[in-house]
Amino acid sequence: MNIDREEARRIAELARLDLDDDALVRMAAEMTKILTYIDQLREVDVEGFEEHTAEATPLRDDEPRPSLDRSSAERNAPQWTGGFFVVPKVIGGE
């Protein structure tokens, strides 16, 4: 599979990455290489091998556990006020 520069730009935009043209060209080449490798894996003949089915996700009881104390949450926040994380104003979203 081939990823061109435009596709790389679109993926970068979705990931909110600001990449210049040189970086996009490099990324496109690297992504192409990764996907080509995956395509190569697909060509392997697996006839006769049993599929390994994934196990089920474990389930947890509905028992409350202590949350973080707020100062720990605050320590990891770039900006914080009155118990809230502060981010630049955003409107829209979901």
Partner 1 sequence: MWNAVIGLEVHARLQTRTKIFCGCAVSFGAPPNTQVCPTCLGYPGALPVLNREAVELAIRMAIATGCTIHHRSIFARKNYFYPDLPKGYQISQFDEPLATGGSVNGIRIRRIHMEEDAGKLIHHGDASHVDLNRAGTPLIEIVSEPDIRSAAEADAYLTRLRQTLMYAGVCDGNMEEGSLRCDANVSVHREGEPLGTRTEVKNVNSFRFLRAAIDFEIARQIQVLEAGGTIVQETRLFDPNSGETRVMRSKEEAHDYRYFPDPDLLPLEIEEEWIDDVRTALPELPAARVARYQNEHGLSATDAEILVTSREIAEYFDAAAAASGNARAAANWVRNDVLRIQNERGACRLSAEGLAQLIRLIDAGTIGSKAAKEIFDEIATTGEDPRAVVERKGLAQVSDPAVIREAAAKVIERNTTQVEQYRAGKTQIFGFLVGQLMKETRGKANAEMANAILKEMLGG
Q: Take residue 26 and report the two structure tokens written for it.
A: 């490099």
**9 is written with which tokens?**
């730009």
Q: Which is nearer to partner 1, 47 or 94 (CB)?
A: 94
Interface contacts to partner 1, rule CB under 8 A: 14, 16, 54-68, 70, 73, 76, 81-94
- Closer to partner 1 by Cβ: residue 47 or 71: 71
Least Å from the CB of residue 45 to partner 1 = 25
Contacts of 27 (CB under 8 A, 6+ apart): 8, 11, 12, 19
Tell me how far, at minimum, the Cβ of 79 lies from partner 1, in Å. 8
Give the Cα separation of 20 and 8 in Å (integer): 11
The C-alpha atoms of residue 7 and residue 35 are separated, in whole angstroms, by 13
Nearest CB to partner 1, comparing residues 47 and 81: 81
CB of 58 to partner 1, least distance (A): 6
